[in-house]
Structure 1
């Protein structure tokens, strides 16, 4: 499996409530956690046993040094992780007393992951996982190359943006949350399972599958062979950071292990719920033993 995506240092502050416009609130001491949607999803899959190559860019700075060491410690293949002159990407995150987060991302080095920096052997990829925290043209080119080589392409369209037709046609799986689904369709977020299923049907291609996650309400899918839904697990939420990334990384790991889609969805849903019970992005991602105990598999 290859992951083309972002690598960030997360700067996290806990607050009683998020500030209103023009307001200042006091928070906790800040904490630094390794993050970025690409890196989070790569680590999520690797902790479950997948062989994962991370393709991205880090700055030649202290954050970059720390994150490189963290990813190497997770067992990721880093042959095509490049060090650049731009500062390492960073995300600034507030977490309120209900565990809900608000995130501002400074792309930094992620913005220079151009299509020219993609590895020459990309066509030999079996599973490619991407997000939208790196340039859209890079995502489009990577998807096209892997699809032409016979590999499977998964896109977590976050943050949401208009997706070119060429990219949509190259996808095997599109994964979005309810807010992103609404943005892609130019309307409100789906409010329940029925609306989410309708959104998934509208977003999927003739030969592709679309998955819409609904947070603490579960998730739905629409595929060429049919549609379905999985209920959420009830947990005590500590921090929702990286729950979606945990879901996506686990989903692709399960699919790459030839799990049926419904079982892969259940495992992904369990991983996302388990992630919500712990603080931080990558520190909260479960390993395979934890996932098996939690999901009773």
Structure 2
């Protein structure tokens, strides 16, 4: 955020990112290299990290605009179906010649997944297309971005954001360090945190302790960090210090998109004025809820759903 520009009073969220179709298959366990297994499923469901996060926030009641791209194929309607149902503003969404993005998701009986992503139309989200949405981006209180669009599209964002830049570099790619340092918060899991730290401080060994990791990222100039720890909850770090966020224990059915549900809820909390720890507590419960259903967007709660309680710590 430009220090001379006051943050928008508007509580809206803009998500800049990927829009995909998820091809979902269930297997007893993940196959070994060269192995063929029988599976079930084959459903085509709406997905993409950007769209997932937008839907998660909108279903909870946020006012959300999606900046992204779909192709001219029939799968575009599948990809957009949940965004439309959730009431996400799609006026900044482009249609480009070619296929819509595709994610091939395999889910094992223990709920763990493996994902292969084919970018498709998401490759069109370069700096020029991101800048075309500059008015919406500048007007938003929270701007959310991930790593499933081209590097130059991500790197164009900080100069356009006047609110808060919620950055989820997943998957992690090489970025201008200034973009990483503009994150507020940076939301990463432990693996992603190590990769980001390696970019900012190549000579520094990544700590294994969660508290030490978030301190290391802050030392490199990142104002606030949310480190997600799966079944162990999360750690948040900002000017108020480092706080543990307890998990909401559930029997996981499918973890696909649970992290995106976490981020959508985190964005909602920050957009309505919650402090980072409060927003992360809500996000922990929403992410846990999402893991109890199949698929990504179809498993996300509405504001009327009962969320799981956080575990006592």
**Residue 213 of structure 2 is aligned to residue 199 of structure 1:** yes
1:209 is the counterpart of 2:224: yes
The equivalent of 1:19 in structure 2 is 31
Choose which of 139, 152, 165 in structure 1 pairs with 2:154: 139
Alpha-carbon displacement from aligned partner over 1:180-221 (angstroms, at most 9, x marks no partner): 112323499876xxx112111222354610111011110001
Aligned residues: 289
Q: Report the equivalent of 2:290.
A: 275
The corresponding residue for 2:90 is 78
Contact 1:59 1:84 in 2 (8 A): yes
Tell me how far 1:113 sits from its aligned partner: 0.8
2:10 is aligned with 1:10: no
Return the offset for 1:69: 3.7
Tell me the equivalent position of 1:250.
Answer: 265
Report SS of the residue matched to 2:286.
helix
> Aligned equivalents of 1:55 and 1:114: distance in 2?
11
CA contact (8 A) 1:42 1:54 kept: yes
Q: Which moved more, 1:97-106 or 1:256-265?
A: 256-265
The answer to whether the Cα contact below 8 Å between 2:44 and 2:78 also exists between their aligned partners in 1 is no
Q: Tell me, which stretches of 5 or more residues in structure 1 are unaligned?
A: none
Equivalent position SS for 1:66: helix
Q: Who is 2:176 aligned against?
A: 164
TM-score by length of 2: 0.88
Aligned to 1:180: 192
Return the alpha-carbon distance in structure 2 between the equivalents of residues 189 and 34 of structure 1: 35
CA contact (8 A) 2:55 2:82 kept: no
Compute the TM-score of the two structures, normalised by the length of structure 1: 0.92
CA, structure 1 residues 207+20, in 2 after alignment: closer, same or farther (shift >3 Å)? closer
| Larger helix percent | 1
Structure 1 residues 4 and 229, CA gap change in structure 2 (3 angstroms): same
**Distance in 2 between residues matched to 1:188 and 1:57, nearest whole Å:** 38
Q: Is the 8 A contact 2:21 2:101 kept in 1?
A: yes
RMSD: 1.8
Q: 2: distance between equivalents of 1:31 and 1:207?
A: 40
What are the Cα deviations for residues 87-106 of structure 1, in whole angstroms up to 9, with x where unaligned?
10000011001000000100
Query: Is 1:239–2:251 an aligned residue pair?
Result: no
For 2:175 and 2:213, the matched residues in 1 are separated by: 15
Aligned to 2:121: 109
Contact 1:128–1:143 at 8 Å: present in 2 too? no
